[in-house]
Structure 1
């Protein structure tokens, strides 16, 4: 019998065109294998999976977030029905911020935040009542929690994520220069206070050393076959000196790889020397997140930077030949038509190559969640057409039409970034999800 099967369920709704390796469970797999446990990994977004494949494992762990919780919960119940002796555990962003949601499920443990050391303790000392970092059932069947485990300070001690357990050729993003595309995260934690974001990995910024990051990039290129890497840090450019060292080490080792920062960076951390060095090291795409064109909304979500910083960053990138992507969020619960119009105006006037709109989703554990929950009175929620799910979908469609269909030259800019067939796939995806038409 094998020790552990880790599963990342498929996101629901068919609204996702980008797929990247699930780094969370891949870190768990490599860490636990280093400690002597046998671990298999399944990413349901890349490979079909049936609950019957859980046979022969002592423990099955499922990583859950807001997009895959429905499919993940159904999978857990089906595994329990078929194999009631298998120990089921969950972790990930949603169990971290809302563990009580999962109390009714047939689970042995609910892990919070980063789980490398917590899951190791659970597997190695299953009956130890003093273990921290996860919820467990006591002798009476009640859930207990002994507190959080301290965050891992030295991230360099973690082995590289077990990308060798997956076929990275199955992952896809239309925004790429090369293929196959993989992912990397070089730091954990975020010290900023954006109201729509939850600090699943803590508020303290913890970064891997430049040497360790470059070692992984080289390993991915030579051993995994990666040709492009998406850097998924929340704040990759927060430590300017570290970024410069990473880039210079890549250049010194002559590692040929395309790099994109599609998770967004803060515009106020960029300058010409840094961007020039990043481009030389392989960075071809940078995403910035102005989030809104409404000053009132920016103040309420605590996005603490000036709009001119974003435009300055975009201008520098364009001058240096780095492609750019900007993110906006629509449908905050207090917003009116004027706020929406201000955001669309900002998106239309931006100098970015691509514009992406997201519908506001109230995430548990965030300051905006209580405001957005049904039944909680708030002044902003009176505007039901803007706040409702259908209203937010309509807003997104209107915004995309304004940015792309009314400004067709922006579509031509996409041809410099995405292959023609990928643009065709994007259009088909837009029809399917009704995001634009």
Structure 2
């Protein structure tokens, strides 16, 4: 069956959409004819023309909360013009499948959570005209009634999945991320594990992937790195929630990178928790040419860290950043502005703390309430919004990136937005990005990509 997977139009997209690349690869390995058109640097008109060129029998569209209306507009036009089944997948439809199927008649199916096997089973059923009621992990409409089949089981052996289908991606279309904007070669990404055991108040990752971490083997990860290298990719971003959560496996991956000679060929970057990295691990990561580690710090006080339900302490943050400096690994810190604990005094303390921590890159994101997160439920209990908020195009001071801001009881929405921009400007000023012409590109990219409003 001919299937086309789409991601909505997006300017300055950093990486190809791995989710639909996995789906296309799974279908192609099982006798179907799958294509991809990623929305990087595209318009809806261009994407519709591509649909007409490929003439698929089914279209699948990936959707998240911030791009939901672009995805829905794309789906509506395709349904009206081509009269073919439309499947939605991704984080947002996974979390609110009933709301989408009820309110958007042009959506036929939703694949929830991990989509590889559910999508394959659904396409097989569509091709053969079979019943959908036994397919795990899907929601659908039949005779004006909405059905939610039982969830699919998390994929236990990730090594069995085929590598993502990269042949459809034009690597020249993807924007360079600020932290390695000086690199002149293509970059790609790898997901080496799925799942997150933590329960951060602002995050919905485990609602999608589950709380149990499932790891690909080190050998399997290295094989994918070889494939990407042969495609011309020279910088890899590990898009795991926490690449180092299994220290033994992380060291094994680094060891295999060294044996394959990757440190002279490929640089890489990952996310980690400050309470996991230590001398031994960082020593291996440096030998394997890890250029940067990202840390979710979120706040500079124990009270704030507890409110966000992070697993680390303030002392562990300082130790991790000092160790990274010792091994000459760059750091990127994530901070969040907002929450019940947030005050003007805390924001000033955060500014000072970031300067003392001295990360190479930092963000100061506005606290947004995404579906099914604890922050969203807190706001709902306080009467700030209800579940129908996702049907609205959210613009104005109370919203950012088409999601509601949770400012907390002590600050206004405008104060939260201003603080986010001010913290980032203060850090840029300290780094000297406002002084030197060769840093203007980095500074401008950081201003555009930081999750704040001016």
- Both proteins in one fold, TM over 0.5: yes
SS of 1:143's equivalent in the other structure is strand
1:93 to 87, 91, 94: 91
Instruction: For residue 179 of structure 2, give the secondary structure of its aligned residue in structure 1.
Output: coil
Distance 1:424 1:158, change over 3 A: same
The answer for the alignment partner of 1:430 in structure 2 is: 447
Give 1:287's match in structure 2, choosing from 294, 317, 323: 294
SS in 1 for 2:268: strand
What CA distance in whole angstroms lies between the structure 1 residues aligned with 2:317 and 2:442? 29
In the superposition, relative to structure 1, how do residues 149 and 431 fare at CA in structure 2: closer, same or farther (>3 Å)? closer
Residues 246-261 of structure 1 mapped to structure 2, 5 A cutoff? 246-255=253-262, 256-261=264-269
In 1, Cα distance between the equivalents of 2:41 and 2:322?
37
Aligned to 2:109: 109
For 1:40, the equivalent position in structure 2 comes to 35
Give the corresponding residue for 2:416. Answer: 392
Q: Return the alpha-carbon distance in structure 2 between the equivalents of residues 143 and 122 of structure 1.
A: 16
What is residue 65 of structure 1 aligned with on the other side?
Answer: 64
Partner of 1:173: 177
Decide whether aligned partners of structure 1 residues 60 and 422 sit closer, same or farther in structure 2, where only a CA change above 3 A counts. Answer: farther
Match of 2:202 in 1: 196
- Deviation (angstroms), 1:374: 8.9
Deviates more, 1:427-436 or 1:65-74: 427-436
- Please give the per-residue CA displacement for 1:145-192, whole angstroms capped at 9, x wherever unaligned: 121000110000011111122122322223224521111110000011
- In 2, the alpha carbon distance for the partners of 1:122 and 1:4 equals 12
Distance in 2 separating the partners of 1:51 and 1:314: 47
Q: 1:160: which partner in 2?
A: 163
Structure 2 Cα separation of the partners of residues 335 and 135 of structure 1: 39
Greater CA drift, 424-433 or 72-81: 424-433
2:444 alignment partner, SS class: helix
Measure the CA separation in 2 of the matches of 1:411 and 1:353.
15
Give the superposed CA RMSD. 2.5
Give the Cα separation in 2 of the matches to 1:257 and 1:374.
52
Say whether the 8 Å CA contact 1:315–1:351 is kept in structure 2: no
The match for 1:306 among 302, 313, 317 is: 313
- Contact 1:168-1:180 at 8 Å conserved across structures: yes
Which residue in 2 is equivalent to 1:124? 124
Q: Are the structure 2 counterparts of residues 90 and 434 from structure 1 closer, same or farther at C-alpha, using a change threshold of 3 Å?
A: closer
Secondary structure at the aligned position of 2:252 is classed as helix
Label 1:96 to 1:422 Cα distance change in 2 as closer, same or farther (>3 A): farther
1:259-285 CA distance string (max 9 Å, x none): 3335x2101111112111111112111
Structure 1 pair 249–166 and aligned structure 2 pair: CA distance change class (3 A): same
Equivalence for 2:148: 145
Question: Which of these residues, 217, 221, 224, is aligned with residue 216 of structure 1?
Answer: 224
1:185-204 Cα deviation digits (max 9, x unpaired): 10000011111111111111
- Counterparts in 2 of 1:90 and 1:194: CA distance versus 1, 3 Å: same
Distance 2:445 2:78 in 1: 35
CA distance in 1, matches of 2:384, 2:157: 44
Are 2:9 and 2:42, in contact at CA under 8 Å, matched by a contact in 1? Answer: no
CA contact (8 A) 1:27 1:159 kept: yes
Deviations 1:273-316 (A, max 9, x none): 21111111121111111111132221111102111111111111
Give ranges in structure 2 of 5+ residues lacking alignment: 386-405
Instruction: Give the SS at the match of 1:163.
Output: coil
Q: 1:207 aligns with which of 207, 215, 233?
A: 215
Q: Alpha carbons of 1:188 and 1:248: their partners in 2 closer, same or farther (altered >3 Å)?
A: same
Q: Is the 8 A contact 1:430 1:436 kept in 2?
A: no
CA contact (8 A) 2:61 2:87 kept: yes
Mapped partners of 1:395, 1:334: distance in 2: 15
When residues 274 and 118 of structure 1 are mapped into structure 2, their CA distance, relative to the original with a 3 A threshold, is same
Residue 408 (structure 1) shift: 4.4
Is the CA contact 1:63–1:91 (under 8 Å) kept in the aligned structure 2?
Answer: yes
> Contact conserved, 1:334 with 1:380, CA < 8 A, in 2?
no
Instruction: Identify the match of residue 53 of structure 1 among 46, 50, 53.
Output: 50
Q: Distance in 1 between matches of 2:14 and 2:144?
A: 38
Go from structure 1 to structure 2 and tell me whether the alpha carbon gap of 1:402 and 1:433 turns closer, same or farther (over 3 Å shift): closer
Task: Determine if contact 2:293/2:329 at 8 Å carries over to the other structure.
Answer: yes
- 1:10-25 alignment, distance < 5 Å: 10-11=9-10, 17=12, 19-25=14-20
In structure 2, relative to structure 1, the CA distance for the partners of 1:307 and 1:429 (3 Å cut) is closer
Is the contact made by 2:293 and 2:330 (CA closer than 8 Å) also made in structure 1? yes
- Find 1:134's aligned residue among 117, 135, 138: 138
